[in-house]
Amino acid sequence: MPRYPIIMEVKEIKADLPPMCPVHKVGDKISINNGTVEGRICLGVLTQQLARLYGLANGMISSNTLTYACPDKGKVVFEIKRDPNHWYKDAIAPLTDAPVKATTP
């Protein structure tokens, strides 16, 4: 199954919900490339979104852009994007622009 690159970006932090987030700032990006996570991510967000991120990276039928508010009263708002135009053939192959993609169930 292909592994699509995923980018999570912090779009908004609601200042009216104290205390301020100690992990994220607006504009922070977390990337998931070929099964590895790069960047800082709050453990609460990671645990809540792990199944969705795994599904998106592995071809789950869904839109390519999702919005998610963190479990701490929605203090931090993330935009999660899947790049449908690039994918990894397997765990050790480089990112490709293959003309034919594997079908999604």
Q: For the chain, which residues make up each domain, given as ranges?
A: 6-84
Distance between CA atoms of residues 90 and 64, nearest Å? 21
Residue bearing the bigger pLDDT, 101 or 25: 25
Residue bearing the bigger pLDDT, 33 or 6: 6
Distance between CA atoms of residues 98 and 70, nearest Å? 35
Q: Is the pTM of this model over 0.75?
A: yes
CB distance 98 to 89 below 8 Å: yes
Partnered with residue 66 across adjacent β-strands are 80
Statement: residue 14 has pLDDT above 50: yes
Residue bearing the bigger pLDDT, 3 or 8: 8
The pLDDT > 90 percentage for the chain reads: 34
What are the tens digits of pLDDT across the range 50-81?
A: 988 888 888 888 889 999 998 888 899 999 99
Q: How many other C-beta atoms lie within 10 A of the C-beta of residue 30?
A: 21
